[in-house]
A and B are shown apart, each in its own frame.
Chain A
Amino acid sequence: MAQPIRFKAVCIKNFLSVKEASELYGISDKELLHLAYPLGAMYEIGGKQLRLINERVLRNFMDKKEDMQEQFDSNYVPYAEAEKTMGFPPQVFRLLAYRANAVYKVESALYVNTNQINEYLVSYRKKLNH
Chain B
Amino acid sequence: MGVKTKREVNYMLPGKEKYLEGRLVIKNFVKISEATDLFSIGMTKLRELAEKAGAIYKIDGIVLINIARFEEYLEQYRVWGEDE
Please say whether chains A and B are actual partners in one complex.
yes
A contact set with B: CB distance below 8 Å: 5-17, 20, 24, 33-34, 36-38, 40, 42-46, 50, 52, 54-56, 59
B23 touches A50 (CB 8 A): no
Interface size on B, residues (CB 8 A): 34
B40 touches A8 (CB 8 A): no
**Contact partner, B83, options A13, A37, A46, Cβ 8 Å:** A37
CB distance from A126 to the nearest CB of B (A): 43
CB distance from A120 to the nearest CB of B (A): 39
**Contact partner, B23, options A8, A17, A33, A44, Cβ 8 Å:** A8
CB distance from A35 to the nearest CB of B (A): 9
A59 touches B14 (CB 8 A): yes
Known A-B contacts A11-B67, A15-B39; the reply to A43 vs B11 at CB < 8 A is no
Chain A CB within 8 A of B61 CB: no
Chain A CB within 8 A of B24 CB: yes
B39 touches A52 (CB 8 A): yes
Chain A CB within 8 A of B33 CB: no
A50 touches B41 (CB 8 A): yes
B14 touches A10 (CB 8 A): no
Known A-B contacts A11-B34, A12-B11, A37-B82; the reply to A43 vs B74 at CB < 8 A is yes
A–B complex contacts, Cβ < 8 Å, 14 sampled: A6-B23, A8-B10, A8-B20, A10-B20, A10-B25, A11-B27, A11-B38, A11-B67, A13-B3, A44-B77, A45-B45, A52-B39, A56-B14, A56-B15
Chain A CB within 8 A of B62 CB: no
Known A-B contacts A8-B24, A9-B27, A11-B38; the reply to A52 vs B14 at CB < 8 A is no
Closest to B30 in A: A11
Closest to A41 in B: B78
